[in-house]
Structure 1
Amino acid sequence: MAKEKQQKAAKEPGRIKQMVQVYRTTKQHDRKLPLLMLLAIVGPILVSVLLAFLLGGGVFSWILWPITGILVGLLLAMIILGRRAESTAYRQIAGQPGAVGAVVQSALRRSWRGSEVPVAMNRQQDAVYRVVGRGGVVLIGEGPQQRTARMIAEEKRRIRPVLRNVEITELFVGPDADSVPLHKLSRTLVKLKPTLRRAEVQAVHNRLVSLKQAPVGIPKGIDPNKIRSQRPR
């Protein structure tokens, strides 16, 4: 028991140090962070004090409301820190190969299915990722649209025969002006109009995964993904 308590006590400073490190790192790239966190903490406290003054209730009210305001303020500050840190991290890796895969792996909600491994890639390391969610199937091109648009069209033709009644959306993350910024990719996916039920999401995902298993025309024992990657672009 004593060892477990010591281990728990040792973990707490680690978490605090980690949060401090995240704050310092994010602050270097996000000058608005300190002000936003300060407002997030001070705002609820001021509101709670005002409520205690207006509603009355004696000493109990003056204790309860400020404590509530402090807790709410700290919670909001942590939420802001997390979101701003995530946004800053994505800005730093934006434009690098595999950046979209990092978003797919870590930022998508449970209602989405996908892999950080692209379904197609060319020699310039442009890639196409595929995710499935309530908004249907989404093909995400990573790189200049001039190159990824053709790759997405090829992938769309490949999966369309098994998804005749499923919405397929195309998104582009790259240097083009009308591309989706990397740090907004997760929110863009969530905002898509729902076209599938929860049970259908898993069924569609399983159908797409099954395509990896020796498609018609490819001999057994040959990796179809390797064949696809060797095709001339």
Structure 2
Amino acid sequence: MARSKPSSGSTAASAPAVKLDKKGNPKVGRLKKLGTNARMIKQAYTLTAKNDPKLPWLLLITFVAVGAVVELIGILLSLPLVFIPIALLFAVLATLIVFGRRAQGSAYRQVEGQPGAAAWVLEGMRGDWRVTSGVAGTTQLDAVHRVLGRPGVILVAEGAPSRVRNLLAQEKKKVARIIGETPIYDILVGDEEGQVPLPKLSAHIMKLPRNLTAAEVNSLGRRMSALGGPRMPVPGGPLPGGRQMSISQRQVRRR
């Protein structure tokens, strides 16, 4: 007597369901996530220490000093054993904060003045920012980048002011025809008066007023798709060392 083969539907039904996160991507296990983060921090430390010889000593001093101060408080309260884990926790947190700031400073020093530096900063910002790099540019590698977010549309120009101001004005007219009354902000990256220094670019954009809701940003994004994507190549990974350096420093800045 012939046996019937199980249907493909029953096989699919018996397969374990893959858990998804809020963005619809497969969830990553906690241990795997911790391992990935640890490798990123190790990579960032190695790369930062090459350009910052004082880093190991600063981290050691921070760890010992903060841990000692917290443990001293425990001794004064006659709870030295209770305060040992608390001291270690505060010491680690303080060390990570110092490390993050030193890594960020090292990264900015390396990219400042290089083509594509502003795009690198924009693409590393935390939050829902839709960045389109190189929407306009010149053969001298001046560039205008477009950012869509809760404040509205932000146009960021990097390069020689005499060349990029005209590019910025032209791009502003193109965008205005699509988005109507939505606020448009234009930023020129640089150290002169009226410009925004590269290390302050991310903070400057984060402080802009929130004029749109999340739904309005999504709707505006669909309308802005008519403008197309990048029109010029932006140097990828302006940091010396290429992609590896760019990823590690960006991970540290997001923490």
TM-score normalised over the length of structure 2 = 0.66
Kindly report structure 1 stretches of 4+ aligned residues shifted beyond 4 Å.
10-17, 33-36
Change (3 A) 1:26 1:205: farther
Counterparts of 1:121 and 1:111, CA distance in 2: 25
What's 2:115 paired with? Answer: 97
Match of 1:22 among 44, 47, 51: 47
**93, 116, 129: which one pairs with 1:112?**
129
SS at match of 1:119: strand
Query: Which residue matches 2:70?
Result: 48
Q: Distance in 2 between matches of 1:200 and 1:38?
A: 48
The residue type paired with residue 145 of structure 2 is Y
The Cα offsets for residues 164-191 of structure 1, whole Å up to 9 and x where unpaired, read as 2211111111353442222221111111
Give the counterpart letter for 2:141 in structure 1. Answer: Q
CA distance in 2, matches of 1:64, 1:36: 27
Are positions 1:203 and 2:219 aligned together? Answer: yes
Runs (5+) with no aligned partner, structure 2: 1-34, 233-255
The amino acid of 1:109's aligned partner reads R
Measure how far apart 1:37 and its partner are.
3.3
- The CA distance in 2 between the partners of 1:162 and 1:15, in whole Å, is 40
What is the match of residue 144 of structure 1? 160
* CA separation of 1:172 and 1:196: change in aligned 2, threshold 3 A: same
Whether the 8 Å contact between 1:52 and 1:65 is mirrored in structure 2 is yes
Equivalent residues in 2 for 1:177-188, closer than 5 Å: 177-188=193-204
Is this contact kept in 2: 1:113–1:202, CA < 8 A? no
Spell out the pairing of 1:64-75 with structure 2 (5 A cutoff).
64-75=82-93
Match of 1:4 in 2: none
Can you list the C-alpha shifts for 1:65-85, whole angstroms capped at 9, x where unaligned?
Answer: 232222222122223212321
* In 2, Cα distance between equivalents of 1:121 and 1:128: 6
2:49, 2:56 within 8 Å by CA — same for their partners in 1? Answer: no
Shift of 1:125: 1.4
- Name the residue aligned to 1:221: none
How many angstroms apart in 2 are the aligned matches of 1:187 and 1:144?
Answer: 22
- Give the Å deviation of 1:25: 2.0
* CA RMSD in angstroms, aligned pairs only: 3.1
Distance 1:27 1:66 in 2: 31
Indicate the SS of the match to 1:132: strand
Paired residues, number: 199
Task: Return closer, same or farther for 1:149/1:171 CA change in 2, 3 Å cut-off.
Answer: same
Q: TM-score of the superposition, structure 1-length normalised?
A: 0.72
Q: Which has the higher helix share?
A: 1
The within-5 A match list for 1:57-68 is 61-68=79-86
Aligned to 1:191: 207
Mapped to 1, the partners of 2:59 and 2:184 lie a distance apart of 39
